[in-house]
């Protein structure tokens, strides 16, 4: 018999309390020391990435967060996979625009060193590699230098080990955040809202899609329960 799926504490009801802020969609100016990435920048990054690997028959992307539920480009194959040496963490801060504000900035997921991460592998269309890679970098690397630059990792899937591109935090970046308690992270995720939605929505979608694919992340599972508690306390005090 199929395994009964876990019931999340965090639901659409909680997410609906936190509606997107009415902000202009234009990208805010880059912080001091950063610049907006240009098409030439993306072309150079793609060339450098593939120069390191040489000729490749397949190109895979390893998704661990929003790329799971909102891929940046088309793909022709999808698998679950395990990457060792990196773990999924809310360590990319602080987002004060798209999923946060100056008053309540958000925290985004990135891969940080240590542990392991189960995620989703997407294989890019072989005849559209550069096009799809450009779409991916436009979404993930709007500012340079990137706080979570792309890199090649080994992902185990079934009886295969696949070289895949993913995005790992640069611990020397000014946007690297560490040492927060799970309670503090939950507080951020329960309150941060920007022009594209809330951190609660981001967490909900990530956990839901991971669970649907048979991937259980204990840390994110704990966070979704804590975030639901905090939203209920704020919006349903008499519930």
Which residues of the chain are under the pLDDT cut of 50?
1-2
What is the pLDDT at residue 174? Answer: 86
What is the pLDDT at residue 99? Answer: 85
What is the pLDDT at residue 6? Answer: 84
Per the annotation, the verdict on 26 as an active-site residue is: no
What is the pLDDT at residue 1? Answer: 40
CATH architecture label of 29-179:
Roll (3.10)
DSSP assignments along the chain, one per residue:
-PPPPPPPSS-HHHHHTSPPP----SPPPPPTT-EE--HHHHHHHHHHHHHHH-S-S--EEEE-SHHHHS-SS--SEEEEEEEEEEEEEEEEEEE-SSS--SSS-EEEEEEEEEEEEEEEEEEPPTT-HHHHHHHHHHHH-SEES-SS-EEEEEEEETTEEEEEEEEB--TTSTTB-----HHHHHHHHHH-EETTEEHHHHHHHHHHHHHHTT---HHHHHHHHHHHHHHHHHH-TT-
The active-site residue, picked from 53, 140, 187, 201, is: 140
What is the pLDDT at residue 57? Answer: 80
What is the pLDDT at residue 28? Answer: 62
**pLDDT, tens digit (0-9, with 9 covering 90-100), for 79-115:** 999 999 999 999 998 777 778 888 889 999 999 999 9
Q: What is the residue extent of each domain of the chain?
A: 29-179
**How much of the chain, in percent, has pLDDT values that exceed 90?**
74
């Amino acid at each position: 018999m199929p395994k009964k799926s876990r019931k999340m504490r965090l639901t659409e009801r909680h997410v609906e309390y936190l509606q997107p802020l009415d902000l202009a969609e234009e990208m805010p100016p880059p912080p001091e020391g950063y610049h907006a990435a240009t098409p030439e920048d993306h072309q150079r990054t793609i060339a450098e990435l593939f120069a390191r690997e040489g000729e490749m028959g397949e190109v895979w992307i390893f998704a661990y967060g929003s790329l799971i539920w909102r891929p940046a480009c088309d793909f022709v194959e999808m698998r679950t996979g395990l990457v060792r040496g990196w773990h999924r963490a809310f360590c990319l801060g602080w987002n004060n625009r798209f999923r946060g504000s100056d008053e309540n900035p958000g925290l985004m997921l990135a891969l940080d060193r240590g542990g392991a991460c189960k995620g989703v592998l997407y294989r890019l269309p072989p005849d559209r590699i550069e096009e799809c890679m450009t779409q991916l970098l436009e979404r993930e690397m709007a500012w340079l230098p990137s706080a979570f630059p792309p890199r090649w990792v080994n992902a185990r899937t079934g009886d295969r080990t696949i070289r895949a591109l993913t995005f790992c935090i640069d611990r020397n970046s000014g946007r690297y955040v560490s040492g927060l308690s799970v309670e503090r992270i939950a507080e951020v995720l329960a309150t941060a809202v920007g022009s594209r939605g809330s951190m609660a929505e981001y967490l909900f979608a990530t956990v839901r899609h991971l669970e649907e694919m048979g991937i259980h992340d204990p840390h994110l599972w704990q966070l979704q329960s804590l975030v639901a508690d905090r939203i209920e306390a704020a919006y349903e005090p008499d519930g």
